[in-house]
Amino acid sequence: MRSRFRSDRRLTLRMGVTLFLLGLLYVAFIAALLVLLKSWVLVVVVAAGLLGAQYWFSDRIALYAMRGRVVERAEYPELHAVVDRLSAMADMPKPVVAVSAMDMPNAFATGRNAEHAVICVTDGLLRRLEPGELEGVLAHELSHVAHRDVAVITVASFLGVIAGLIVRFAFYSQLFGGGRRDQNTAVVFMAVMGVSAAVYAISFLLIRALSRYRELAADRAAAQLTGRPSELAAALTKVTGDIARIPTRDLRTAQAFNAFYFTPALGREPGIARLFSTHPTLEERLEQLGRMSAELGEGTGTGR
């Protein structure tokens, strides 16, 4: 599928390198589990099953987790109209449109390809943004689909997910059943935990490095498509400020999906979390949009 979104070779290169490195890590991970657990049937079946489920059902999983539901044109005619217009401008299939019943202002795209993509916005976003700002956010999400980085992030995050699950399983198995195991079994479980923890940490860092760049790429692509970088900058400023005022306890569930969001669900004082953020800083994003706005003769691009 080719769209009118400008291709981004640096993004494509980064996605390729990330998938290659994660592929090597995945092979090493499976090999280590085979050696430690000595049951290739268990390892292969569980790994293949989880990967297949995450690839084929990622859109449904994300919508369920974020309380999203598919909405028809009759329910949200203005939202559908914007998605229709942007899809036509980008020469792309129209994605499924969904709305999440969350007050947190945000949006995300999911799905394995353009023909099976979903763009979801929250009620909080729809209430807060002006039409031009909403168009900028939706163009940003649509560019993720066009560049295929949604599918890449979905597949790439699988390794971290399975490693994290194994760490939890090994930990609780050892914690609640340690008295019934011999010393050799305990050593195997500790080794599995160690390998899984290392794999999780490496995949965590690789995915976040890719995620930060893909957000800048999506901002650029959206601004180029709409021709109004200042609207996207205004949306970024408004959404980031409003999220900072939402109680941290209300953001905890959402934070697991930060890599997919338009802007991360962070509280007032993210602290060290900035070092491992899935997104570049607001200042970086506004600076890029400001440059693009000046090139287009649109103004400063820092807000309305």
Q: Which residue ranges are tagged as binding site for Zn(2+)?
A: 140, 144, 215
Give me the phi and psi of 270, to 5 degrees please: -65, -25
Are the C-beta atoms of residues 278 and 259 closer than 8 Å to each other? yes
Q: Is beta strand 117-122 parallel, antiparallel or unpaired with respect to 96-100?
A: parallel
Under a CB-based contact definition with an 8 Å cutoff, are residues 242 and 268 in contact? no
The annotated binding site is made up of 140, 144, 215
Q: What is the chain's length?
A: 304
Instruction: Please name the amino acid found at residue 187.
Output: V
Active site residue 141: yes
Set 141, 231, 295, 298: catalytic member? 141
Question: What gap in Å lies between CA 271 and CA 182, rounded to an integer?
Answer: 43
| Per-residue tokens: 175 | 């914690």
Of 279, 293, 289, 222, the closest CA to residue 3 belongs to 222
Mention every residue, 6+ apart, whose C-beta is less than 8 A from residue 93: 1, 87, 114, 115, 117
Kindly write down the DSSP assignment for every residue of 79-109, as one continuous string. Answer: HHHHHHHHHHHHT-PPPEEEEE--SS--EEE
Angle at 9 between CA 6 and CA 14, to 5 degrees: 130
Distance CA 7, CA 14 (A): 13
DSSP string across 148-172: THHHHHHHHHHHHHHHHHHHHHHHH
**Which positions are annotated as active-site residues?**
141
